[in-house]
Each structure stands twice: as structure tokens, then as C-alpha cells.
Structure 1
Amino acid sequence: MKWFHTCLLAAAVSWTAGTARAQILIGQTVGLTGPVAATVKEAVDGAKLYIDSVNAKGGIRGEKIELVTLDDKFDPKIAAANANTLINEKNVVALFLNRGTPHTEAIMPLLEKHGVALVAPSTGAMLLHSPVNRYIFNVRSSYQREAAKAVAHLHTLGIDRIAVVHVDDSFGTDALEGANKGFAKANLKPVAVVKADRNKPDYPAIVPALAKTTPQAILWFGSGTAVADGIKALRAAGSAAQVVTLSNNASAGFIKALGDASRGVIVTQVFPYEKSFSYGIVKEALELAKAKGLNEISPAILEGYAAAKVLIEALRRASPNPTRQKLLAALESLQKFDLGGLEISYSPDDHTGLDFADLSIIGNDGKFKR
């Protein structure tokens, strides 16, 4: 009998230890290095704020969430290879918060092939919204909505000589389409449309092409350091045109990259102002950030935080023992989930997520203002 109790105790200890070690693996391929590294870091930090807070309370039914992140250097081919590794070798339950439109396109065939959900891609490409992709669950608004809103805003200010610079890839084409919708609604035409190479923009050619058309404002659709360097080249050439870029550059890292050229640059936003404490999500994120020694949060941090809230709510609903199939079902049935002042819903016919779009301007202090 004593031997029986000893074995029973050992089994209980072993089971408890196994539960404590159990993990829910979530995969992420993202540009930890390369032109979007600064913004990516902030988004990942934001996601970890929430994930770490959930893990500190025991995780989900005793299972900790582990984010397995691989660096794709902002290269679509590496992103696809990383996604394959995460799905087939790491056996992740889902992919999460990747970055880039062509990168997401490269991953999409793997999602369907292996029945894996991609939660909160950090891109607003319309191809992820329409037609509905069963495996992609957007959280942020679309680039087209942001671009159209930017044109409308400039038009209300009496600005009608607007040029466009767009990166020569699917992201740039998508943003341009949104801008064209804004131009059509305002009964305007861009004074210039200039393409920029994604890896090596030719600023000595781009800037004179813009200057020739004497624009009052320039919509610059690109990523990270490429846009920052372009704006600095523009200012060095003596142009004072108002520059507007999209929320993919809504980070403190982007402002830092701009340096002295940051003042007055307009950046569209897809989440509330990070100082709008009437939104519960802003208050929550800031409190957790302060607990980790951060005195403020950026739009990119807020995007990562919101993405993690959606992911973990779906994992809770798919528990115990969440699988890829159970997570898909949980996501598609997510209705009126309150992120903290913002409500998100999905259905088999709608994976759009939020429809929030706003504008901010970088002030003299190097901070976003609204």
C-alpha cells in the first residue's frame, strides 16, 4: 500500500510538472533586421506586453504561450521559408503578426495547405480583406482606407497639387489604388506618380521628378528607412511639400530615422491615439509598459498589443488543448469582442477586423500629435 501511494504521488508530481511545462506555440516570421526593424521591434514588444501578462497569471488553463519568432530580414522568400519551418518543424498552432504585403502573399499558400490561421498580419493590403481568405484574420484597417482618408484630409485643407511616390510592389500598388479612390472622390488627379524600388530607391531620380511638378503635398508609400531617407533627400533638395505616409511607419523608430526631417510629417493611424486614456486598451497597454520600465507607448506597440488580445481570446475559446482546427473555429465565431473601447467581430464571410482610421502629425518634440 505504501508503494502504491508513492507511485501515485510520483505520477501526480510528474503530471503537474508536465502541465507547467506545456506550451502553446505561436509562430512569427518578421523583419527583425532590415528596413522595418525599428517598427517591427515595437510591434513585437507590444504583443509581448499582453502575452507576458497572461503567462504571468498561469497562461491559458495552465499552458504558457510561447511566441517563436524567426527573422525574415523583410525578404518575402525568407518569410515563406520561415513560415514553412514554423508550420512543419515547430508545429505551431497559428502564425501571428507577420509584416509586409508581398511577404504575406508568399505565406498564403502554406496557410491553406496546412490549415493554419494567420492572425493579425501587420499589413493593410486589400487582398487580405477581399475576397475573404478563410485562414487570414485581420485586426488593423486597410491601407486603401488610410490612403483615401489622407487625400480627403489634404483636400479639405485646400491642397490640390498632390504627388504620389509608391514602392514598386504589391503594397505600393494597393496603397496607390486607395489614393486613386480618394482622388476620384475629391475630383482631383495626382500631379505625379513615381515608383520607387523596394530595396534600393533611386532618390537622385525620384526627388527631381517630384520637384518638377511643384507639389504642395506628397503621399509617400513605402517602408521604414526607405521612406525616412526619401523625406530627408526631399528636404535636402529644398522642398517644403507636406509629406504623408501610412501607418506601417507609425513608430518611434520611424521618427528617430527621420531625425530633423520629422517635424510636420503626417502619418495615418489605425488605432486610437496612444494618449487617449478614454480607450481601455490604451490605459491597459500603458500600465503594462510602465511595469516594464517604459514610460510611453507608440502606435506600433498598440498594434502589437491589440493583435495579442485577439489571438489569446481565440486561444482561450479553443482551449483546452487548442489545435489549428479549433482555433480557426474560435476565430470565426468571435463576435463583438471588446479590445478596450474598440470592438472586433469575425464571421465566415467577414475577416476584416477593425475599421478605424485617423491621422497624426509629428510635432516639434518628435512625438505623434492628433
Structure 2
Amino acid sequence: MNMLRNVIRLLLVGLTLSIFGVTTSHAANKVLKIGHIGVMSGPAASWGLINKYAALAGAEIINEDGGFEIGGEKYDIEIVSLDTKQDPRVAIAGTERLVYQEGIKYIIGPNVDDTTRAVLPVLEKAGAFNICYGWHRELFTAPSKNTALGMIAGYQSAPVIYKYLKEQKGVKSLACVPRNDASGLNSRDSCVEAANQLGIKITSSDSTYEPNTSDFFPIMGRIIGQKPDLIVLSGVAPSDAPLLIRAARELGYKGLMSTETAMDANIIKEVAGEMANGFVSVGGASAPELRTDAMKRFIDRYSKVAGEWNDEAGTKVYALEMLLQTLRVAGAAALDDVELFKAAIPKVNAEDPFIKGSEARLKWVGQSYFDQLRQVSTPMVVTDFKDTDFVTLFIGYVE
């Protein structure tokens, strides 16, 4: 019931905010609409809601500070947000509304491979660009040029996490447990590839569960029977993770568990509690030791917009910032022409306002993975769940 109340609270906050999102504006400024489309209902709702709240919070701060300057003119930022319901058909319809009815050229989302793949033809036909959170390499590799990855992908973090667990925790075997959809299966493939590279024995990779599953005891029973040192929850949704963890622990599993997807500490705490201690995941890029004053301000504003802070927002804050910084480099003509935006991508290299240290830069990366710069540079903050929240294990970067 606590988890249900938590999810309902998130949804109610979303409903009480206008989909146009930003109330603070300056009469003399022009308005730049930025779209958001993501999953905001169902088991994966927190992924899209965090994107929405991060964009709203970032836009409010920009507008309060007088707007964002592009080509010598100030723009107030307006966020237009739509729910994909984790359905490719709904995602297509929503994207068409954003680009054709709202006239939007730059979009944040969707959140997974299926919906991202579905909207690519719409983006290309309309001449629009998005920062998404699906992972599959084909999404960001030519001939696809109008989408970019907004976070660390599983195939980038998995080798790093497994190497750490092998060296520090003695992991010699693992089981990959994927959700049976494109994102889950792609994450499973990354799990298998990374394990093979590191010489870690794979005890299972073909046992899957369907989206909206509520009873995870059968699948976890099969997995635990093979006695892996590590169970990897491949592509797991935030509300499914604690149920899988709880099932494994109640069945007697004493080993390690991890995922490469973004989690919600509040849901984990309420559903799995102490049983989730030691659960390893990629957290938001907002480890306390890294935070600048700008990040602290964002955290405060996000908490007011969403009702509470979520660590994953420390990664999602970068989407709006990177779109705007690239538009600033490209110039005002890029507001209506994404070809100019794409041409400016290699030129973006600004100080990261959210992370301490001279090495932290706002830039586009991904050349070695996609043969083009189609990924936002964000810190890889690998975390360990302890009692009520995530604790940083280590920090890295992708180039």
C-alpha cells in the first residue's frame, strides 16, 4: 500500500502541474517550447516523471534568472509534456502533436527502446531532434542522426560494474534476468557480453518475465536454484526492482544483486527495505561530493516541483541544459533548423554547472560507440543501496 500511495502521489503531482509547465515568464522575452514525451503511468512511470520534473525545474530556474540567451535574444522556456504510456503507438501520436501542433523542434524523451525507435521516423520527417533514454546502439548510429542518448547505457556501465564486483566482491558467476521487451532484452545482451569479456560464468540469461508481472517468485526460484554469485536485473523498471529483490531474499538468496537502469530509492525502501541493502545500480549524476551550488539549487527546485528529490534527476537535469547550450552555439537560426543544431554538436564544450572540478564539461560524446557524437556526457555514478538511500561506490565517465 505504501508503494501504491507513493506512485499515486507522483501521478497527482504530475496532474496538478500544467503540461505547459512554467508559470514564471518575462513579457519582453520570446518563448522557446521544449517538448517532453515519456512514460508517466504504469510500472516505469518514475522514469518519465523524473524527466518531466527535471525539465520543469530547470525551466523555472532559467526563467527566474531572466531567460536563456540565444543569438543575442533572451528566451523563456516552456515545457510541453505528454505521456507515452509505454506504448509505441501513443508515443508516435504524442510526438506528432509536439512537432506539428506545437511546432516544437527539440524534445526530451522517450525513455525506452520501443518508444524511441517508434518516434524516429516522425522526428526525421518533421526535422526535429530528441535526447532519449533508450539504449540500443542502432538508435544513435547512422543513418539515424536526429536522436541522442541522455544517460550512461547498460553496455557502457555493465563492464565497469561487473569488473568492480569481480575484483572487490569475488563474483565468479552471474544470472541475467531481463524483462521481456526490447530494452530488457538489449540489457540482457549487454550483460552477457560484459560477463563473457570478464570471464564470469553465466548461469542463466534466457529466463524472462513479462511487463506488468506481479508475482516474481517463480522466475526467481529458477534463478536462485542455479546459485549465481550475482543476479543482474536487466532493464528492470523502478517499481519491479524491489519486488524482484524481495522475492529473491524471501527465497533465501544471499548473493549480490545489481542493475544498470535508474532506480527510485523511495520505492525500494518502501517495498524491499533492508532486503535491498547491497543492491548496486547506476545512480543519478549528483553524488553529494560532486554538487555545485547550481546543482543544490536545482535539487531544491526539483523537490518543490515533484514533492521530493529523486537521485536520478541528477542525470536528467542534463537534457534541457545540453539542448540549450547547443542552440546557443548554433545560433538563433537553429531554433527552426536542426541541421544547424547537429552541425554545432562537435563545438559544444562548456563548463559543467552541476559538477565540481575542471574535468567536468558539458559536451557531446559517444564517437567510439556510435561513430558519431550522439550522447550527452554525464558522470557514471555507481551506487550501493544502504537502508534508505543510495551511497556512492565510485564515479567514472564515458568518452
Other-structure match for 1:109: 121
Deviation, 1:57, is 2.4
Unaligned runs of 5+ in 1: 1-16
Other-structure match for 1:362: 385
Residues 50-59 or 105-114, more deviating: 50-59
How do 1:215-234 residues align onto structure 2 when only pairs under 5 Å count? 215-221=228-234, 222-234=236-248
Other-structure match for 1:345: 364
Counterpart selection for 2:297 from 287, 293, 297: 287
Separation of aligned partners in 2, 1:33 and 1:232 = 23
1:268–1:360 contact (8 Å) kept in structure 2: yes
Larger radius of gyration between Structure 1 and Structure 2 = 1
Deviation, 1:316, is 2.7
Separation of aligned partners in 1, 2:339 and 2:65 = 23
Counterpart selection for 2:184 from 163, 172, 186: 172
Deviation, 1:130, is 3.3
> Structure 1 286/336 Cα, relative in aligned 2: closer, same or farther at 3 Å?
same
Counterpart selection for 2:210 from 197, 204, 223: 197
Deviation, 1:326, is 5.8
Other-structure match for 2:46: 38
Other-structure match for 1:127: 138
Counterpart selection for 2:161 from 150, 155, 172: 150
Whether 1:86 aligns to 2:98 is yes
> Structure 1 97/286 Cα, relative in aligned 2: closer, same or farther at 3 Å?
farther
Let me know the Cα RMSD of the aligned residues: 2.9
Separation of aligned partners in 1, 2:28 and 2:45 = 33
Separation of aligned partners in 2, 1:293 and 1:173 = 33
How do 1:242-261 residues align onto structure 2 when only pairs under 5 Å count? 242-249=256-263, 252-261=266-275
One-letter amino acid matched to 1:266: V
Whether 1:52 aligns to 2:60 is yes
Separation of aligned partners in 1, 2:302 and 2:214 = 38
1:165–1:220 contact (8 Å) kept in structure 2: yes
How do 1:290-369 residues align onto structure 2 when only pairs under 5 Å count? 290=300, 297-320=309-332, 322-325=335-338, 328-329=341-342, 331-340=344-353, 341=355, 342-343=360-361, 344-345=363-364, 349-354=372-377, 356-369=379-392
Please give the TM-score of this superposition, normalised by the length of structure 1: 0.84
Residues 55-64 or 83-92, more deviating: 55-64
Whether 1:76 aligns to 2:88 is yes
> Structure 1 326/162 Cα, relative in aligned 2: closer, same or farther at 3 Å?
closer
Deviation, 1:202, is 5.3
Separation of aligned partners in 1, 2:44 and 2:272 = 13
Unaligned runs of 5+ in 2: 1-24, 394-399
Separation of aligned partners in 2, 1:29 and 1:314 = 20
Separation of aligned partners in 1, 2:301 and 2:114 = 36
Aligned length: 349
Please give the TM-score of this superposition, normalised by the length of structure 2: 0.78
Other-structure match for 1:9: none
Separation of aligned partners in 2, 1:199 and 1:365 = 25
